[in-house]
Amino acid sequence: MLNSSVQRQPRLASSARESNRAKKLTLGGAVLAALAASSCCIGPLLLAAFGIGGAGALATLGAYRPYILAVTAVLLAAGFYLTYRKPRATTAGDACGCEAPHPQAGRAGRIGLWIATVMVVVFATAPYLIARVAARGHEATAVTTPGATIDHITIRVEGMDCEACSVNIRRALEKVGGLHDMTLDLKAQTIDVAYEPAAGRVQAYVAAINDLAYEASLPGQAPSAIR
């Protein structure tokens, strides 16, 4: 009986290591997948913060965002299963206690799981949170010339994939000047701009959006016709 228990010890220890490795891989994969799903939104903001162009190029990853989020959910579910699954019952021959669950290791695994879960949720919801914060910030700082006329123009912007795209576009239009407000329609791939009219201002808006690597155009105009 003792010899059988001793022979089983290496196998049990190896099984425990493999289980822990699987947990780490699934949780790490879930976090990385969530980060990849948000790179199309967070990436352009980081590029803009460092004064680097190409925001629209990263935004093209948004087409794959639903699939990446699905992979994230599967990996996270696997992490929950591996962490909370019921351990095998100990046997009478388990002299070393190798089969018994280790409370400290289990607690650390659960903490790691919930930290990874919070990170995944933050990355997955980042585009919506960023857009809301940016919109509120614009409302708080927007300045309109008293008595100024406000016109509206719809600009088609191909390449937008989430609400966070509005942050860089709004910032580019603000640099041109005269921006009063902007709303984004992802389904139609358009933005509605409320602005103070001035000579060449609308064309400047289109050119500024194209500089972000999106494909912007006015109604009846070919994309990227204005640079």
Read off the tokens for 35.
């980060």
**CA-to-CA dists, residue 29 to 11, 21, 37, 77, 154, angstroms:** 27, 12, 12, 12, 41
Given this model, what pLDDT does residue 6 score? 47
Q: Is the pLDDT of residue 1 over 50?
A: no
- Average pLDDT, rounded, for the chain: 74
Rounded to the nearest 10°, the torsion over CA 144, 208, 37, 192 is: 50
| Residue with more model confidence, 18 or 150 | 150
Pairwise pLDDT comparison (121 vs 47), residue with the higher score = 121
- pLDDT per residue over 74-95, tens digit each? 888 888 888 887 766 555 555 5
Residue 71 in contact with residue 33, Cβ under 8 Å?
Answer: yes
pLDDT the model gives residue 2: 46
- Nearest 5 degrees, angle CA 136-CA 181-CA 142? 60
Ramachandran sector of residue 159 (left: φ over 0; alpha: ψ -120 to 50; beta: rest):
left
H helix runs in the chain, sequence order: 2-49, 55-59, 65-84, 103-141, 165-176, 201-210
Nearest CA to 209 among 72, 58, 55?
A: 55
Q: What is the structure's pLDDT at 140?
A: 46
Cα(133)–Cα(39) distance, rounded to whole angstroms? 18
Give 172 or 44, the one with higher predicted confidence.
Answer: 172
For 176, the token pair is: 């041109």
Position of tokens 């990996």? 75
Residue 143 has pLDDT above 60, yes or no: no
Least confident of 45-59, 106-120, 179-193: 45-59
Helix 103-141 to helix 65-84 angle, to the nearest 10 degrees? Answer: 150
pLDDT for 49 beyond 80:
no
Query: Residue 178 in contact with residue 195, Cβ under 8 Å?
Result: yes
HSE-up of 205 (CA within 13 Å, CB side)?
29
